[in-house]
């Protein structure tokens, strides 16, 4: 496979957990600067595709390139916001120290790899927290945050490593709609200088923010920029869904299982 000029390119990727196929023949190309929404039903393989792009899993079929390299080589240029925090909430750590972990692996010299954080790292972490409007949380223990605050902190942790691509897995699954809008406004701004891939099950809502939507249910069902109509949603979810007007204005539909 020749080095690809795309930010992310997967070619005929297949993956199975044991003998359960999760992804089949997935070819998707994400250009630099795009804001791709990856939608699909639960267990449709969205999180698995992200893990393959991040190099946490290896494809059993096909190939993946990220920034023209293998996922593992490109890893440090990626920022990742997980769906569920993988850490225990009672872990004794303050928000600033959580955010700083996003700067691991950026050491300029071997000497910077050992010992404590440098002043410059702390300053960048503080600034990034302020950028996601969580500057006042720096000294808070991680266990004291609300769902929305935690989401902002996780976003800061992903951004503080100065990534070229930001990957988010259901970033707004655990927060209310008003905050969801704020987070996506923030992502729109970040899209000015970052490629973004965001996984969501909320097809109508994200389509007002993203530049393109890819629908995944084991394989890619649609892959388009034009508006998503009821037929596509029916194809994707395999059942009748109803479109309702979304509270965020605009003429976009909001998909719900009906």
Binds other proteins by CB under 8 A, chosen from 18, 115, 119, 251: 115
Part of the chain binding other proteins (CB under 8 A), chosen from 97-105, 178-186, 199-207, 247-255: 97-105
CA distances from 101 to 51, 57, 116, 124, 125 (A): 19, 22, 12, 12, 9
Q: Does 118 bind other proteins (CB under 8 A)?
A: no
Binds other proteins by CB under 8 A, chosen from 87, 89, 130, 230: 87
Nearer to other proteins, 75 or 254 (CB): 75
Nearest distance from C-beta of residue 202 to other proteins, angstroms: 24
Nearest distance from C-beta of residue 197 to other proteins, angstroms: 14
Q: Is the dihedral of CA 238, 241, 245, 248 positive or negative?
A: negative
CA neighbor of 102 nearest in space, from 126, 69, 73? 126
Q: Please tell me what DSSP assigns to residue 9.
A: E
Near other proteins in 143-162, by CB under 8 A: 157, 161
Nearest distance from C-beta of residue 172 to other proteins, angstroms: 19
Our measurement of the distance from residue 91's CA atom to the centroid of its chain's CA atoms, rounded to an integer in Å, reads 24
Angle, to 10 degrees, between the axis of helix 119-131 and the axis of helix 147-159?
130
Near other proteins in 176-235, by CB under 8 A: none
Q: How far apart are CA 115 and CA 117, in angstroms?
A: 7
Nearest distance from C-beta of residue 176 to other proteins, angstroms: 19
Q: How far apart are CA 9 and CA 137, in angstroms?
A: 37
Q: Does 57 bind other proteins (CB under 8 A)?
A: no
Nearer to other proteins, 91 or 227 (CB): 91
Characterise 33 by phi-psi region: left (phi > 0), alpha (psi -120 to 50), beta (else). left
Nearer to other proteins, 153 or 232 (CB): 153
Q: How far apart are CA 178 and CA 175, in angstroms?
A: 8
Part of the chain binding other proteins (CB under 8 A), chosen from 85-93, 174-182, 236-244, 248-256: 85-93
Q: How far apart are CA 37 and CA 167, in angstroms?
A: 10
Q: Binding residues for other proteins, how many (CB under 8 A)?
A: 30
Binding-site ranges for other proteins (CB under 8 A): 54, 56, 75-76, 78, 80, 82, 85-88, 91-94, 97-98, 100-105, 114-117, 141, 157, 161
């Amino acid at each position: 496979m020749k080095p690809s000029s795309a930010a992310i390119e997967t070619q005929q990727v297949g993956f199975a957990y044991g003998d359960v196929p999760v992804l089949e023949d997935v070819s998707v190309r994400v250009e630099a600067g795009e804001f791709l929404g990856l939608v699909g039903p639960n267990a449709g393989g969205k999180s698995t595709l992200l893990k393959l792009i991040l190099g946490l899993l290896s494809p059993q079929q096909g190939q993946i390139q990220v920034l023209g390299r293998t996922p593992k080589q490109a890893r440090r240029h990626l920022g990742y916001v997980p769906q569920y925090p993988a850490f225990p909430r009672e872990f004794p750590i303050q928000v600033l120290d959580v955010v700083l972990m996003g700067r691991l692996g950026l050491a300029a010299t071997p000497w910077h790899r050992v010992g404590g954080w440098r002043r410059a790292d702390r300053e960048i972490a503080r600034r990034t927290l302020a950028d996601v409007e969580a500057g006042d949380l720096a000294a808070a223990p991680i266990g004291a945050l609300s769902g929305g605050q935690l989401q902002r902190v996780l976003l800061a942790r992903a951004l503080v490593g100065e990534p070229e691509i930001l990957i988010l897995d259901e970033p707004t699954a655990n927060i209310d709609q008003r905050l969801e809008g704020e987070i996506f406004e923030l992502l729109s701004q970040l899209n000015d200088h970052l490629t973004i891939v965001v996984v969501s099950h909320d097809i109508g809502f994200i389509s007002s923010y993203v530049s393109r939507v890819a629908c995944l249910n084991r394989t890619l069902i649609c892959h388009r920029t034009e508006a998503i109509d009821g037929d596509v949603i029916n194809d994707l979810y395999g059942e009748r869904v109803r479109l309702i007007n979304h509270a965020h204005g605009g003429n976009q539909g909001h998909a719900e299982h009906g």
